[in-house]
Amino acid sequence: MLMILSIQILRGQARHRFASSILPSLWFPIILPRSALMMLFWLAVSSDHLYWAMGLEERAKFANIRQREG
């Protein structure tokens, strides 16, 4: 997954290289959302995606339940 992410970032940089010589802020917002979406996708397919989706309070409760069971 990280390899795919790095390839996509490299493609984005290559695609917008000419814009970066004029103003780097033209291509930076194009690369950033792509990597953020890939990270969200990785979290969604990971085994602990429900844990990461929880708030801090829910995480603490979940950790306490796991300690009691295990």
* DSSP character at residue 67: H
pLDDT tens per residue, the chain (70 residues)? 445 445 545 555 544 444 445 555 555 555 556 667 677 777 666 655 555 555 667 777 777 877 787 5
User: Tell me, what's the pLDDT at 32?
Assistant: 57
User: Tell me, what's the pLDDT at 48?
Assistant: 59
Q: How far apart are alpha carbons 3 and 10 in whole angstroms? A: 11
Matching residue, tokens 């996708």: 41
User: Tell me, what's the pLDDT at 19?
Assistant: 44
Q: How far apart are alpha carbons 69 and 67 in whole angstroms? A: 6
Contact 13, 31 (CB under 8 A): yes
Q: Which two tokens stand for residue 63?
A: 């950790």
Q: Model's pTM, two decimal places?
A: 0.22
